[in-house]
Amino acid sequence: MNMDKDLAFYYGSALILLYFVVGFISQILKRNNLKKKIKFAEAEYETAKNNCITAKNILSKSITKTYGPEKAAKFQQGNLWRGMHRHLLVISRGRANNIKRTVHNTVVTEKWQYGKNLNILGQGNDIFEVTLEDNIVMDWHGFK
C-alpha cells in the first residue's frame, strides 16, 4: 500500500514536470516564431521604405523637369505658394474633402477644403481652405 502511494507520487510528479517542460518548450517555440515574424515584418518595412524613397526621387526629378528647380525645391520642403499648380497641390496635400467651384466670365474659381467636415452648427477648427483660379493656387487660410 505504501509502495502504491510512492508510485502514484512519482507518477504525479513526473506528469507535473512533463507538463511544465512541454509548456516551457511551447513558449520557446512561440517566441522563436514571433521573432521570425518580427524579422519578416522589419524586412518588409525596409523594402517599403526604400521603395518610397525611390518613388519620391522619381517624383522629385519629374517635378523638377516639369516645373523647374525653384518650384521643385519649394515642393520638397512641403511649402504651399501662390502660383502653385493644382497638380502639385494634389500631390503634396491630396485631394480636398470638399471642393466648391464657381465660374465667373471665363475664370474658374475653386475653394478646396481640407480637414474635418463642419457640423450643423458650423463648428470645426481643423478645416483649412485653398483658393484656386484656373488651376493655380491664389490664396489659403486656416492652416495651423
pLDDT at 47: 95
Fold for the domain defined by 81-141: Beta-lactamase Inhibitory Protein; Chain:B, domain 1 (3.30.1450)
CA atoms of 73 and 136, how far apart (whole Å): 18
Decide: 138 and 127 in contact? Cβ < 8 Å. Answer: no
Burial 36-57, CB ≥16 within 10 A → b, else e: eeeeeeeeeeeeeeeeeeeeee
DSSP 19-57: HHHHHHHHHHHHHHHHHHHHHHHHHHHHHHHHHHHHHHH
Instruction: Decide: 119 and 94 in contact? Cβ < 8 Å.
Output: no
Instruction: Return the domain boundaries, the chain.
Output: 1-79, 81-141
pLDDT value for 144: 47
pLDDT digits (tens, 9 = 90+) for 95-115: 898 899 999 999 999 999 888
Residues of the chain scoring pLDDT < 50: 144
What pTM value is reported for the model?
0.60
pLDDT at 116: 67
Q: What is the pLDDT of residue 93?
A: 86
Helix (H, G, I), strand (E, B) or coil at 85: strand
